[in-house]
Structure 1
C-alpha cells in the first residue's frame, strides 16, 4: 500500500485569509493523522503566503507520522530543514513567485547543486527526494545525485486523465520502471485526486507515497475530511 501524505498548505491559506488562527493548523494536522493519514507534507515558500516557517517548527512537535518538507533549497530552506529534521525533504525547483510547482528538476544540468544539497541532508539523517518529470533521463540523472527517492510530477497525468488515461500513464510507467532498476524509491504528487488516484496506483509499480493537498481539501468540502482521507486510503490499497 502506498502511503498517503496530506499536504496542509491549503489549510494555512484559509487561516491566513483572515489573519487569525482559524482553522487551527496544528489541530487540523492532529485530526488528519487521527483520521488515518500516514504522513503530513508542507511546502513553505519565502513569502510565507500559506505555510510559515514557524508553522514548520511547531508541526515538528505535533506530527507523529512521517513529516515531509518540500521546497526550493535556498539557504533559508536548508537551514529550516536542518533545524526541524523531518522524515523526508523533497527538493522542488519552483520560483519564489510560483503559484504552485510547475516542473521537475533538470537533474543532469543541476547534478552538482543537487548532489551537494542532498549530501547535506543525508549527513543529517534526513531521507531525500527530488521532484522530477516522468522522463527516463531525469530519473537516471537523479540516481547520480545520490537521492533516496524521486517524486513524479503528475500534473500531465491528471490534466489529461479523462481524455486518454492509457496514454498519459505510459511515461510514468517507464520512469517508474527505470527508478526500480536503479534502486530509487518512488513517490508521486500534484493534482492527484479521488478520480484518478486508483488507476495511477494500479499502474505504477513500487509506489511508496503520494502527496495530495489541493484536491483532497476541495473534496473534503463535500464529503468531510475524515471521509475523504479514508476514501483515498481505500483506493491506495
Structure 2
C-alpha cells in the first residue's frame, strides 16, 4: 500500500466495484487537491454515484484504495468512517433528504448539533446559509410546507453550514429549474472558493461541469478522455439494433 501524493487531499487508486454482478467502477483512479472543484461528468448509469460513495466512505470498493489527508479511508472501521463523514465531509444528494419532524433551520443545523456544537452557534451558522440561499424566510417551516426547490436549498445549507473539508454533490441541481439551479451552483462554488472547501461534483450536465476547475469523464464505470457525442451515441444504438 503506497501513500498518496502530499498535495492531494483526496486520492483513489484502481477502484473496482460491482452491483449485483454488473460493473459500476472499473479501475478508476483520481486525485483531488485542497480547495479544488472537480466535476465527475458522465451520463446516467456511468458510475458517478458509486464513485462519490466510495470516495466519501459510504461504500467500500471491492478493490482499490481511497485516501483522505494521507489516511486510508478504505481500511477504517465502520464507526470511524461514519465519524469521518460526520466531521469532515458534506453531502448534497439529487433529492433533498430532510428530517420531516424538524424545521428548515433545525435540518440545516443538524450536522453541527451532532458534532456537539452549541445550539446557539449551530443555529447562527444554519441561518447564515439559509439567508445566503434566499430561504431564510422559511426557517421555521417544516419540509412538507416547502417546495421541492426550497427543500433542496435547505439540504444545500445543511451541507455548507458544517464547513466540510470535502463536499460531495451528487447531481445536486437535477430536480431544479434553470434559475434555481444557477443560484444554488453559484453559492456552492462561492463557498468552496471562500472557505477552501474541496468539492467533488457529479453531473451529466456539460454546463454544470464547466463551472468546475477540472473534470473527469466516466462511461460505463471507466475513466475516458472524452464523452461520445449524441450523434455518435445514436449511431452506436442503430448499429446495436441492426445486429
TM bin (shorter chain): 0.3 to 0.5
Question: Quick check: which one's helix share is greater?
Answer: 1
Q: Which has the higher contact order (CA 8 A, sep 6+)?
A: 2
